[in-house]
Amino acid sequence: MTSLKTIPTDNSVFDFLLSVEHVERRQDFQTFKAIMKEITGQEPVM
């Protein structure tokens, strides 16, 4: 049986997005996060 290559963590998605230095990328990530939350109905997880 294979194992997952990624696993959820308790790291904060919000803190990660704040750490992105490039302003446009940070805004793009926040927009993407909002779209994915709307589509899936789930809170984002790192």
Query: Which pLDDT belongs to residue 1?
Result: 72
Give the domain ranges of the chain.
Answer: 1-46
Measured CA to CA, the distance from residue 40 to residue 46 in angstroms comes to: 15
Measured CA to CA, the distance from residue 32 to residue 38 in angstroms comes to: 10
**Residues 29 and 17: beta-carbon distance below 8 Å:** yes
* Contacts for 24 with CB less than 8 Å, ≥ 6 apart: none
pLDDT at residue 45 tops 80? yes
| DSSP codes joined into one string, the chain | ----S----S--HHHHHHH--SHHHHHHHHHHHHHHHHHH-S----
User: Is pTM, for the whole model, over 0.75?
Assistant: no
> Could you read off the pLDDT of 4-37 as tens digits, one per residue?
888 999 999 889 888 989 999 999 999 999 999 9
